[in-house]
Structure 1
Amino acid sequence: MATVRGCNLPDDLFYNVDNNVWARREGDGTLTIGMTAYACSLAGEIVSYTPKKVGKSIDQNKSVTTVESGKWVGPVKAPVAGEILAINDAVAAKPGSINADPYASGWLVKLKPSNWEGESAGLVTGGAVATAFEAKMNADGFGGC
């Protein structure tokens, strides 16, 4: 796992660095999607989670859910296009779990990708994760998680 400025960034995930979202490719080809620890730190404690409906098709870089904290309201964008298969009911009941465990119990939606092979090439994974997020944090003037 990469750690950049105190933010954990598991290197087995796929990241859209610009949008601060991650995707985990499951064995059946579906994706689990969530916010990075960096995004959670920027937002502060999440108090509201409003996902799109199951069955909705989402284009790449379009919102799969809206989250709200005490200082921010905004979309969490899909790293690739696809259809929403599931939302996280546990997060709906306790939105702060996104902050507490963004890479496991704080996942946001499950997605069936429509063009994984074509769109995943733009995502960052493995050893490139730390370098990509260090550059983003520098550009954003981010002090750390």
Structure 2
Amino acid sequence: MALVKKCNLPDDLYYLVERHVWARQEDGLVVVGMTDVAQNLAKTIISVTLKGAGKTVRKGRNVATVESGKWVGPVPAPVSGEIVEVNQALVSSPSLINSDPYQAGWVAKIRAADWEADSADLVTGAAGLEAYQSFLDAEGIVCDGG
């Protein structure tokens, strides 16, 4: 896991940097979640409202709404497709996004309609880390090192 401005950013994920969402291809699906940057900015997550499995979602539309003590906002889909599973554990334990944003804190699994087209504006690897570094520098953001 790479550290950028004390934010954990795995270099094997795909990022929609401006929206603080990550994507990972897994068993033919795209697993989606909030980045360490997002959970650091939001602080303690107190509530997660998930879209239902079986719903079709367009890229950029919400797969969930997250609430913290200082923020309420969407978790946008980085790809279009069908939501095939949502992380029900987040309903009773929303702080999983804070403690483990890349594993136990995943939000939804989507069967992408066109991964190749939708992933074209996602960044990954060294380019993803550089893009996040630039964004964090421009915004003056440093994570708490979680």
Indicate whether the TM-score tops 0.5.
Answer: yes
Give the aligned residue type for 2:101: P
Give distance in 2, aligned partners of 1:9 and 1:144.
Answer: 11
My pick for the range that moved more, 65-74 or 124-133, is: 124-133
Counterparts of 1:1-145 in structure 2 under 5 Å? 1-26=1-26, 28-145=27-144
Q: TM-score, normalised by structure 2?
A: 0.95
Report if the CA contact (8 A) 1:60-1:78 is conserved. yes
Report if the CA contact (8 A) 2:7-2:142 is conserved. no
Give distance in 2, aligned partners of 1:123 and 1:2.
Answer: 17
Q: Displaced runs of 4+ in structure 1, greater than 2 A?
A: none
Q: Identify unmatched segments of 5+ residues in structure 1.
A: none
Give distance in 2, aligned partners of 1:87 and 1:78.
Answer: 12
- Percent of aligned positions that are identical: 50
Number of residue-to-residue matches in the alignment: 144
My pick for the range that moved more, 95-104 or 82-91, is: 82-91
